[in-house]
Amino acid sequence: MSALLLNLDFGQPPPKKTLEGNAKHQSFVKKRRFLEQRGVLNKKNQFPRKVPKLHSEASKKGETPKVDGTRKTAASSGAPGQSLNKKVAVPWLTPASSQKASTVAAKVDLLGEFQSALPKIKSHPSGSQKKGPQKNSSQKDAPQNFTSASTESKSSGAFQQVPSKMVAIDCEMVGTGPKGHVSSLARCSIVNYNGDVLYDEYILPPCPIVDYRTRWSGIRKQHMVNATPFKIAQSQILKILTGKIVVGHAIHNDFKALQYFHPKSLTRDTSHIPPLNRKADCPENATVSLKQLTKKLLSRDIQVGKRGHSSVEDAQATMELYKLVEVEWEQHLIQNPPKN
């Protein structure tokens, strides 16, 4: 009995390391539960701690952060067994209570990075948004350009766009028939809008010449030696006049000598243009001579001397007089078109 008691008294006590290990384990479990309640340990399953590095790598590769907080990382895409069924929470979208100052993610200003990323999303709108207003603007600008062009054409007249379709004519006549009272064509000159000569020929009348009228016409007998026959000259002249605006002074006399009728809508007679008479301080309904209008408005003398008139000089003066009132007179004709 005494021996048994002796053994109980001198038995070896349990090792201190085991007791200490149990106490450390219990304190560790308490701390872990405390940290789990505070939500600190949940971050291990949410997102890697080196957030700034991954964010910079994603931006280098051309990835744009999603607004809803999802991101495709290399770890989730590379490991087949670690695919996430749920959206990965980004630290700058998690509640403020879960972020502690002791963690690395809390020390980085991720909210500032999120705000800096917002302008990038706004500065790159979709292609449909860019194309939309451009189409509308082009559709709106087209009718405006058309209307402006039409108003300009009305103000200046379509004739200014095609000056090659405008000519001035002047003819010189000689006397044929009984006592030379019939005026026959003996010379015709045609100039363009700039006054350049397009046609200038002496023309042999079909009837014998009784009076050359040299004082006014400037025609002499020697001019008729190699003159162009009337029929040939008439066909040449009509080819030039057809379809063009013809300017002349008392032009009905020229057309009568040509045995030709030109449309009134394409005829401009400087002897019947009221604005031209107003500029010369003459009555609007009066028929003023070409010599007088040229002297007053162009300060030039024509039809002087005893050598007679020059049909080229008269045609050029007629075109210059017409240009003085071209815009005003054409606007009047647009509003009041002449009847043929």
Domains identified in the chain and CATH numbers? 163-335 (3.30.420.10)
Is residue 158 over pLDDT 70? no
Distances in Å between the alpha carbon of 143 and those of 149, 150, 185?
A: 10, 10, 52
Sign of CA dihedral 42, 48, 52, 55: negative
> What is the predicted pLDDT for the residue at 290?
94
Taking 80 as the threshold, does the pLDDT of residue 255 lie above it?
A: yes
pLDDT class of 221 with cuts at 50, 70, 90: very high
CA torsion through residues 229, 184, 219, 236, sign: negative
For residue 159, which of 315, 334, 276, 317 has the smallest C-alpha distance? 334
Segment 15-47, tens digit of pLDDT: 555 555 678 888 888 888 888 777 766 555 545
Q: What is the structure's pLDDT at 115? A: 53
How large a percentage of the chain has pLDDT more than 70? Answer: 57
Are 319 and 193 in contact, with CB atoms under 8 Å apart? yes
What pLDDT band is residue 265 in, cutting at 50, 70 and 90?
very high
CA-to-CA separations, 48 to 35, 53, 103, 328, in angstroms, rounded: 18, 10, 11, 84
pLDDT number for residue 22: 78
Q: How far apart are CA 261 and CA 58, in angstroms?
A: 86
Instruction: Give the angle subtended at the CA of 247 by the CAs of 243 and 252, to the nearest 5°.
Output: 95
User: Average pLDDT in the 309-324 region?
Assistant: 95
Q: Any idea what DSSP says for residue 29?
A: H
Is residue 248 pLDDT above 50, yes or no? yes
Identify the residue whose tokens are 């016409």. 217
What are the residues facing 6 on neighbouring strands?
none
Three-state secondary structure call for residue 163: helix
Q: What span, in angstroms and rounded, lies between the C-alpha atoms of 46 and 71?
A: 12
- Give bridge partners of residue 319 from the DSSP assignment: none
Mean pLDDT of 261-280: 94
DSSP letters along 206-272, please?
Answer: SS-EEE--HHHH---GGGGTTPEEHHHHHHHHHHHHTTSEEEESSHHHHHHHHT----GGGEEEGGG
Q: How far apart are CA 128 and CA 287, in angstroms?
A: 68
Distance between CA atoms of 300 and 113, rounded to whole angstroms? 84
* Residues contacting residue 182 through CB under 8 Å, at least 6 positions apart: 175, 176, 207
Is residue 183 within a helix (H) or strand (E), and if so which, with residue range? strand 182-191
pLDDT band at 141 (very low <50, low <70, confident <90, very high): very low
Q: Using CA atoms, how far apart are residues 107 and 298, in angstroms rounded to an integer?
A: 91
- Cα–Cα nearest to 271, from 281, 254, 284: 284
In this prediction, residue 125 carries a pLDDT of: 45
**Which pLDDT belongs to residue 49?**
52
DSSP 80-106: GGG--SSPPPPGGGS-GGG--TTSHHH
Size of the chain in residues: 340
Largest Cα separation within the chain, whole Å, is 190
pLDDT in tens, 166-216: 999 999 999 999 999 999 999 999 999 999 999 999 999 999 999 999 989
Distances (CA, A) of 99 to 29, 39, 46, 93: 22, 9, 12, 11
Average pLDDT score over residue span 216-231: 94
Q: How many CB atoms lie within 10 A of CB 110?
A: 19
* Higher per-residue pLDDT: 176 or 110: 176
Q: Is the predicted pLDDT of residue 303 greater than 50, yes or no?
A: yes
- Count of CA atoms in the C-beta half-sphere (13 A) of 228: 16
pLDDT of residue 304: 85
